[in-house]
Structure 1
Amino acid sequence: MRFYILIVCAVLTFGCATYQTTKKVETPSVSKEMGRAFVAEALQHYRFVKDPEVVSMVNRVGYQIIRSIGANPSSYHFLVVQESQPNAFAIPGGYIFVFDGLLAQLSSDEELAGVIAHEIAHVERNHFFKDAKKVAALDIATIAAILLAGGNIATTAIAGAANIDVRLQFSRENEAEADNYALRYLKQGGYSTKGLLDFFDSLIRYERFNPQLIPAYMSTHPGLENRRDTVSNYVTREMIQADQEFIERKLALKRQDWKRILAILNSHDQKWKDEAAILSQLKIDEFPIEERDEMKEYLLGAVYMKSGRFNEAIVKYHSVIERNRTNPVYYSDLSFCYLKQKEMAKAREAALQSLSLMENYIPAHIIIGILEHDSGNTNESIEHLERALNSDHEDQSVNYYLAMDYGKKGDSAREAFYSGRYFRVNLMPEKALNELNRAQGLAPENSPLYFRIMSEIEEIKREGL
């Protein structure tokens, strides 16, 4: 992708200028050092999406592919940047950035898998070091220009114009190879290769309707339409052999989950002034007619909930529950709205109803944990929150409340540990290290907690996150 080419070259400038006289730039340790250096800067200049549902979706897709191809999950990191441009890029060391502006253009997690598989291929195929001497010619000013541009592609292209000939050396062959390997990775990860094709189609549509926002590809960078045609030929051959009915059923089951992600991403968009505009943006007509009324109420409720319009959300969730009393998500969301409105009894009732429908539904356990915490029932709170944490250790609120609960119990080591986890999930590695170092000094040496703390510290130092 365009921004990917620019950003990778900038990172390599820094890395080559620093390490080329002492180490081989293609070694994994140097790759990781370059990635850490970029991430440290990115954390200062980018805003990141931290909604646990969005982050969890991207991580789930990314790590499913990583594990399926035999790569090391602990060496990869997926970050969602709050930026309207539809882009994604990878940098050395396994750091993959996805813009929420790109997520908003996608129609399914299959398309997201196509994007991520392509970026993973850049990392796995070591495209960053194909011509290190030419990359080393870039100057560090380009790095600052790209970082400070905050994703404005036109600005970054102008800022680096003096070095454009060098940057273009990386495009044609590497992009084609990344597409080729992405198709393999998708099959290995259990995703449809059509996801990559659909992603290209989504981006082409965006370009056609927003020509002023995305400049044409530079002359030696393969055009999106050409890449799309190459992938289409592969997908067409594969789809002839596939069970189309099975694929459609699989995608239908995922549609509701992805529409929820879109609702979350767009919940703060001021352009969404009325329900008709919201439903149009969410393409509600993609649902079968018999599901449409239920999905309208549900997705409107999700938008209102995520934008803090809790009274309106409560009305919508009661309406959708009248249509379907068997979905634990509806009751859990309703419970969250009541929690935010300080109607604790109603929040508890709805959360318990959610758990009666699905015993292991994590959001409901989190809400019960918070309710128990607020009621002073520390042990019960910890029980529910740790149960939730076993399934989703990236939720900020779980780590936050566990830190407070253990603080109340006088367990300073665990209080510091979960405080460190809270800061780590919130992309504040320095604060996380401070808390984890404090936890290390408090935990009994050689205890299970001590080794958990040491593992977290080592990962942050190695990965920068």
Structure 2
Amino acid sequence: MPDRQPAQPRTAPRTGLPRRIAAAALALVLAVTTGSPQPAAAQGQPKLPIVRDAETEALLKDYMTPVLKAAGLAKQNVEVTLINDRNFNAFVADGRRIFVFLGTLVEAKNPNEVIGVLAHETGHIAGGHLARMRQQLAAAQTVSIVAFLLSLGAVAAGAASGSARDTNLGGALGGIMTGPQEMIRRSLLSYQRGEEQAADRAAITYLHATHQSPKGMLDTFRRLSDQSLFISRGVDPYTLSHPLPRERISQLEELVAKSPYKDARDPAELQLRHDLMRAKIIGYFDRADTVARRYPLSDTSLPARYARAISAYRFKQVREAIAQIDGLIATQPNNPYFHELKGQALLESARPAEAIAPLRRAVALAPNANLIRIMLGQALVATGDKAHAEEAIRELSRALTRETLAADGYRQLAIAYGRKGDIANADLASAQAAFAGGEFQTARHLAARAKTRFANGSPGWLKADDIENYKPPKLDGRS
């Protein structure tokens, strides 16, 4: 919505309507035609609780790659973003990001179930459903405005004939508007149900193309159907945005029965990675007693040992945790995430010098894991040793070329530059940290100071100039 309402006319239009109703009508039409939604943060809404983890992101990328290729989206740079919520859910917010709740990963018993969810969301992206939904909403808005204006004419005619008393106009207006608005709502919901069904069918196509079973997708929707069955009983199907569970399950059962890959199984190595990911989430986010119940000492599997080691480190049993992590490394010496865990446990226990070696090993084993590279840079900086400044700058700079919004990484880079005596780049990194954190005024101030230390037109000067002259979009959507 705009910051303030447009000025109201001094006299009401000649429609026979009382001024208070005509003014309210004009205000509503103007709000519908000129208003624009504000970002969630601007409306006082909490930001999405995004979770970053190199291991989980790498696994989901491996899940997504063949699906995106089958959908013709291999070059679209579609990313999966993790949300710290233990519900089973996933959604698409734009044409390049799929949001997945941690609960989806924990509840999914095998990779195929998660891949089915990702394939469905990919179907929305490949089908252009978001763009078409925006067109539907725009069309609905136009119809709403026209219907509203027509209803004004109807009420005005009644008022002019004397058949509508002033006290009844509000009710008449509301009653006339209810019909068109309800039809528009049902039309949009019906359209969305059609898109959900289209995404289901697209997902089956992608799974067939990659020789994967659609059974995991069916199992997922069956579970969701069981959870929502009580909701759908007695509900008007035209008021639901998704197909009714029984209809959706029936359609998927038919498609799965015809699939030549319905009995295909996930590779054992992929299943183990999936189980390790689930154990990691549980180890990091659940209470110690919950972890102990889910993964008792009698369970000697690698995922169980992983979860217990993480839980021990989280709850300050560092010596025990390190011993358990060393056991994990002995079992899988080339698993970069076991080395990462050891480095993180040591770093967060104020032992950064000891954390460097396992983090270096983790980076060597997973050179594209920029989050681990940033942690290595943090450990190098945390030692306070000037001899590590150059390596810290190298590692952090390399990681930040991809992780451009990692504010903590820029802060560590600023410290490393400062320790080296490079004040110009220290100011620039501080400005980048503030910018990545959305602190634009602070970022501009630091960038302006950095510009005075760089040669005019140099790469550093240009980066600082971009930050200083950046103008964030207005909260009301106007430029």
Same fold (TM over 0.5): yes
Query: Between Structure 1 and Structure 2, how many residues are aligned?
Result: 396
Shift of 1:198: 2.0
Partner amino acid for 2:106? A
The residue aligned with 1:273 is: 289
In the superposition, relative to structure 1, how do residues 78 and 445 fare at CA in structure 2: closer, same or farther (>3 Å)? farther
Determine the structure 1 residue equivalent to 2:390.
Answer: 379
Corresponding residue of 1:339:
347
1:50 alignment partner in structure 2? 51
Within-5 A mapping of 1:205-354: 205-208=223-226, 219-220=237-238, 221=240, 222-235=243-256, 237-240=258-261, 244=264, 248-249=266-267, 252-267=268-283, 269-270=285-286, 273-279=289-295, 293-305=301-313, 310-354=318-362
Q: Which runs of 5+ in 2 are unaligned?
A: 1-27, 146-180
Query: Is residue 63–residue 73 contact of structure 1 (8 Å, CA) maintained in 2?
Result: no
- Partner Cα distance (2:316, 2:440) in 1: 29
Distance 1:21 1:126, change over 3 A: same
| One-letter amino acid of the structure 2 residue matched with residue 173 of structure 1 | G
Contact 1:85 1:102 in 2 (8 A): yes
Question: Could you give the per-residue CA deviations for residues 372-422 of structure 1, whole angstroms, max 9, x where no partner exists?
Answer: 212233212111223334565565543331132234445556445544554
Residue number in structure 1 paired with 2:135: 129
- Once the two structures are superposed, residues 79-122 of structure 1 have per-residue CA deviations (whole angstroms, 9 ceiling, x without a partner) of 54433432333446766544333343334352452253144245
Among 67, 72, 75, which residue is 1:69 paired with? 72
What is residue 115 of structure 2 aligned with on the other side? 110
- Residue type at the aligned position of 1:258: H
Indicate whether 1:180 and 2:188 are aligned.
no
Structure of higher CA gyration radius: 2
1:248, CA displacement in angstroms?
Answer: 3.1
Structure 1 distance, partners of 2:74, 2:470, is 19
Match of 2:416 among 401, 405, 414: 405
Q: Distance in 2 between matches of 1:70 and 1:460?
A: 30
Offset at residue 173 of structure 1 (A): 1.6
Is the alpha carbon distance of 1:268 and 1:331 closer, same or farther for their aligned partners in structure 2, counting shifts above 3 Å?
closer
Distance in 1, Cα, partners of 2:256 & 2:457: 53
The normalised TM-score by structure 1 is 0.64
The answer (yes or no) to whether the contact 1:331–1:354 under 8 Å persists in 2 is yes
Q: Which piece of structure 1 moves more, 128-137 or 309-318?
A: 128-137
| Structure 1 CA distance for aligned equivalents of residues 444 and 254 of structure 2 | 51
Q: Distance in 2 between matches of 1:124 and 1:47?
A: 20
What SS does structure 1 have at the residue aligned with 2:439?
helix
Distance 1:338 1:170 in 2: 53
- The alignment partner of 1:127 has SS state of helix
One-letter code of the match for 1:205? R
Q: 1 or 2, which has the higher helix percentage?
A: 1
Aligned residue for 1:248, secondary structure, equals: coil
Indicate if the aligned counterparts of 1:113 and 1:186 stay in contact, CA closer than 8 A.
no
Q: Which moved more, 1:176-185 or 1:373-382?
A: 176-185
Q: Where does the alignment leave 5 or more consecutive residues of structure 1 unmatched? A: 1-15, 23-29, 140-159, 286-291
- Partners of 2:465 and 2:203 lie apart in 1 by 35
State how far apart, in whole Å, the 2-side matches of 1:400 and 1:414 are.
Answer: 11
Q: Is the Cα contact below 8 Å between 2:90 and 2:117 reproduced in 1?
A: no
Contact 1:53/1:261, CA 8 A, preserved across alignment: no
Aligned to 1:169: 190
Name the amino acid aligned to 1:201: D
Q: Is the 8 A contact 1:94 1:123 kept in 2?
A: no
**Counterparts of 1:70 and 1:181, CA distance in 2:** 13
The secondary structure found in structure 2 opposite 1:258 is: helix
Alpha-carbon spacing, 1:441–1:21, altered in 2? closer, same or farther (3 Å): farther
- Aligned-pair CA distance for 1:184: 5.0
| Equivalent in the alignment of 2:87 | 85
Superposed displacement of residue 58, structure 1:
9.1
Deviation track 1:20-79 (CA, whole Å, cap 9, x = no partner) reads 757xxxxxxx9xx76xx34545883344123343884598479856786359858x7765
User: Are 1:77 and 1:96, in contact at CA under 8 Å, matched by a contact in 2?
Assistant: yes
Contact 1:310/1:340 (CA < 8 Å) preserved in 2? no
1:334, CA displacement in angstroms? 1.2
Could you tell me whether the CA contact under 8 Å between 1:93 and 1:123 is conserved in 2? Answer: no
Partners of 1:393 and 1:406 in 2: CA distance: 18
Structure 1: which amino acid aligns with 2:189?
A: L
Moved more, 65-74 or 381-390: 65-74
**1:340 Cα deviation from its structure 2 partner:** 1.5
Separation in structure 1 between the aligned mates of residue 425 and residue 64 of structure 2, nearest angstrom: 28
Following the alignment from structure 1 to structure 2, what is the Cα–Cα distance between the partners of residues 308 and 260? 22
The residue identity in structure 1 corresponding to 2:395 is H
Equivalent position amino acid for 1:253 in 2 = E
SS for the counterpart of 1:89 is strand
Any idea what the Cα deviations from partners look like across 1:320-353, whole Å, max 9, x if unmatched?
Answer: 2343434333223112211222234432343345
